[in-house]
Amino acid sequence: MLIDEYPTLSARETAHRVSSGAVSARDVIEAAFAALDKVEPTIHAFATLAREEAYETADALDRRIARGEPVGALAGVPVAIKDLVLTKGIRTTFGSHLYADYIPDADDIVVERLRAADAIIIGKTNVSEFGFGAHGNNLLFPATGNPWNPERSPGGSSAGSAAAVAAGVCPLAIGSDGGGSVRLPAALSGLVGVKAAMGRVPLWPGCRDITLPGVSGWESIEHIGPIARDVADAALMLSVIAGPDPRDRWSIPCSDVRWTEIAPLPRGARVLYWPTWHDQPIEQDLKDATDRAVALLAQACGLDLVVGAPPEIDVHATFSTMVALETDLTGMRRLLAEKPVPVCNAVSDLLSQSRPFEDATDAITARKAFVDEIAKVMSGCDFILTPTLSVTAFGKQEDGPSLIDGTPISAYEWCPFTSPFNLTGQPAASVPCGLVNGLPIGLQIVGPHLGDAQVLSAAAAFEAALPKIGRPPIHA
């Protein structure tokens, strides 16, 4: 019975059953791997599996429960970890031949906390190389397919995490978001993805590990967060992984947020809706569907809605410059000199560019200007709503689409809505808001500085008001 119902169980229900002794953690893990074995040959969500460790952890947890010992909030819940996040004793490749055989000797903080909460890690999920790219293909593993259409991408770079959750392999997965890499795959896979405010979820060693050449970087824009099938499960995972840590100089207290106590969204909330980003193109069917979803929410949730546009500051060039500034290019070049292996197009392009100091200072100045403008915007509203991205899922072998409704686009013009809020550090989430031609689309909710609780309130209210999209065709 558990194997049949497992793919639809929430993390909350799974943890309750395991901690109460209604089911064993081993039974849950057996169901998780049965689900994985059914869909993995089609979607290729995983880079490395951790079967032996998962069963050992489950058996140890079952013995503790039998002795009446207390257990954590995620007792027995199978969790997948993005292959950019370090896992002690489990291979972490960063999607690159450069680290194809690397096994960390330490966990990232979020993994430490998941283990302490008695979650069970079942494996590492596929990514674009070093997270450069909002897709799920690299030169090391097969490209990840979207459970809604396995020939399409689930988005990225947390591609495998989204595919695993959408297909019913696990109710929760860890993603990282340096420019939208939690929110984008959540949107394209029909899931909830949350980027908490900068510093709520600590990063270490992660992008700060200078002992890993080419890996460290993105310190001021990177976030780690949950990908889940509903808001309550995402909040549950945040309750475990959020909170300060002295090893992360950006980390901040969380005493102002009760993650699992999601308050009702007050009627009359002031909301700005930005249906486009400046003159960048968007699929008309996607825009129309998002417009309808926002109109429905305005009525159902009593929103004080104003349609507008973002500040006229070009932050996308700023974002790409900040990525270059915060990437260990010297270490990556040195590593490639020692170990000449093929790298993806995005890494090759970045290494071939030489950015003068003026570009760097211009980018830093433009970032400051955008942060200031958004602070002014937020003084007059409670939330900003946007489409999460401008297209539906594209081919899984592609780095992204080259056309939008027949209009040629340059790289990443198809996802203009997410990275600006990595520059500001504001909390943001993506929730499913419908299907377009059988493929999911997402609505992005952006809250004020440190407004994590408000974002979760809005996400839960919108989740309840919007029609459910159902399960994807490829599911366990």
User: Looking at the annotation, which residues are catalytic?
Assistant: 82, 157, 181
Q: Decide: 433 and 206 in contact? Cβ < 8 Å.
A: no
For residue 156, count CB atoms less than 10 angstroms from its CB and return exposed for 0-12, middle for 13-18, buried for 19 or more: buried
Q: Is it true that the peptide bond before 379 is cis, omega within 30 degrees of 0?
A: no
Separation in Å, CA 394 to CA 125, 276, 400, 404? 20, 19, 7, 11
Tokens, residue 391: 């297209």
Other beta carbons less than 10 A from residue 358's beta carbon:
8
Q: What would you report as the CA-atom Rg of the chain, rounded to the nearest whole angstrom?
A: 21
Q: Decide: 423 and 320 in contact? Cβ < 8 Å.
A: no
d(CA 91, CA 95) in angstroms, rounded, equals 11
Tokens, residue 378: 């937020």
Other beta carbons less than 10 A from residue 339's beta carbon:
11
Residue 212 CA, distance from chain mean position: 23
Tokens, residue 261: 């106590």
For 174, the 3-state DSSP assignment is: strand
d(CA 167, CA 89) in angstroms, rounded, equals 26
Q: Look up tokens 């951790």; give the residue.
A: 50
- In sequence order, the β-bridge partners of residue 445 are 385, 429
Going by C-alpha positions, the residue among 196, 271, 238 that lies closest to residue 450 is 196
